Amino acid sequence: MKIRSLLTIVAMLSMLLCGIGTAHAVLGVADDVPANAVVIPIMCGVDASHGLNTAFALAHAGYDSDKECTSLVDPIIATPDGNAVIVAHASVRNSCSKEVLTFNKPLTCHDVESLNCKDIIDSMSTTQKAQMKISVEGQDWYAGYIIFTNTITKGNDLVSWAYLEDLNLGFVSGLNGIGLEDGAGVRMEEDAGAAPITAHDFMPRYFLLNDKAQTWNWWIIMAGRNQIGKATCDVDYINCSGALFSRKLTGIICNEQEVCPDFEIGIPRELNIIDVGSHLPVIHTAFPHGGFAQLGIVESGDISGTSHIITGTTDVTVCTFTAGEYYSIFGWSYQRAAADTNELSWDVVHPMHRDYCSVPEGMTYVTGPACGLDL
């Protein structure tokens, strides 16, 4: 009896510590987990002379996979690889969040499918391609993002990996697609909109080895909504005639000698690509240029003639927005250094460190500075 009681206690403790099956990650924070929806930023060159491309893989590999794969009664669709158990619906959107293209990707048990930005752009019409085009310091690129959603079950079954590559020049770096557990909200929140992944500020790295044309540092910012109001895009950011706001990263940028002047750069769209070298203040006397920044997310503007400031990734009551609601935001620093030969060239992607907004939408376990209107 004593041995049996001990085994029972051990089993109960194991369930408390480990849970049943694979544990959920924490909603409302950026983490790499299987999810019902995944978001992948994409960018690629506009022609063959610009070899930059985003290749990515999407896999059916979540905690519900074994259940789906062993209990399958009616296959959804037959594919060359077998019977699909889920369908990942893809919504391809431009940098201003306008949906440009959709398609479905059936996935069999533990399936992995590979795609890339250039092939997706090639499948578009001339009008669609124009909607995907952006300019970074005078250079045109195709850029936007894709949301893949499991439309068959509520399970968190999708994972993804992306590769930002320029193979002719010897560059390739990786980042994981963003997993949004239990479904994506309209502002890239988790839990079908109940759990935003917020930020009060970012702390991105920058490094520029030299001044060669193929050496650069991009800050890639992807937000759950555009700034409020209108901006330079093929569509209005928000059909909101009663408000006009400007959203920026604002704070300081520091070199490795701790010289830290003020710094500010706009992030108006859902997907923003910032060429840091083109905006770097004069704080370096010679290459390499290295340092980091501490930048708050601030949105300022007018509502019916009254000035307001929004701190962090939150909303204000105007148009379709409600004060106290939040949106998600993500950031990466993409550094590439062109040397005299491809063998000595390198590149890397770092996710940006952040401070979350404190207790967004009731999530008491998420702590950070207060975010809101006119703080």
pLDDT tens digit at each of 375 positions of the chain: 444 444 333 333 333 334 344 445 799 999 999 999 999 999 999 988 889 999 999 999 865 555 667 655 456 777 776 788 889 999 999 999 999 999 999 998 889 999 999 999 999 999 999 999 999 999 999 999 999 999 888 889 999 999 999 998 999 999 999 999 999 999 999 999 999 999 999 999 999 999 999 999 999 999 999 988 765 455 444 455 566 789 999 999 999 999 999 999 999 999 999 999 999 999 999 999 999 999 999 999 887 778 889 999 999 887 778 888 999 999 999 999 999 877 789 999 999 999 999 999 999 999 999 999 886
Structural Rg of the chain based on CA atoms: 22
Q: Measured between alpha carbons, how far is 187 from 265 in angstroms, rounded to an integer?
A: 22
3-state secondary structure of 136: strand
Tokens of 53: 């491309």
Q: Measured between alpha carbons, how far is 215 from 28 in angstroms, rounded to an integer?
A: 35
Q: Are 150 and 90 in contact (CB under 8 A)?
A: no
What backbone torsions phi and psi does residue 65 show, to the nearest 5 degrees? Answer: -60, -50
- pTM here? 0.89
Q: Measured between alpha carbons, how far is 182 from 161 in angstroms, rounded to an integer?
A: 19
> Exposed, middle or buried by CB within 10 Å (0-12, 13-18, 19+), for 241?
exposed
CA distance to 50, 167, 191, 253, per residue, from 181 (Å) = 35, 33, 6, 34
**Cis? peptide before 281, omega within 30° of 0:** no
3-state secondary structure of 305: coil
At 300, the amino acid letter reads S
How many C-alpha atoms does 305 have within 13 Å on its Cβ side?
A: 0
Q: Are 129 and 119 in contact (CB under 8 A)?
A: no
Closest CA to 150 of 69, 90, 79, 93: 90
Residues pairing with 79 in the sheet: 82
Tokens of 44: 């690629």
CA distance to 120, 274, 292, per residue, from 212 (Å) = 30, 18, 21
CA distance to 97, 281, 326, per residue, from 249 (Å) = 20, 15, 17
Other beta carbons less than 10 A from residue 285's beta carbon: 8
Q: Which residue has the tokens 């503007």?
A: 301
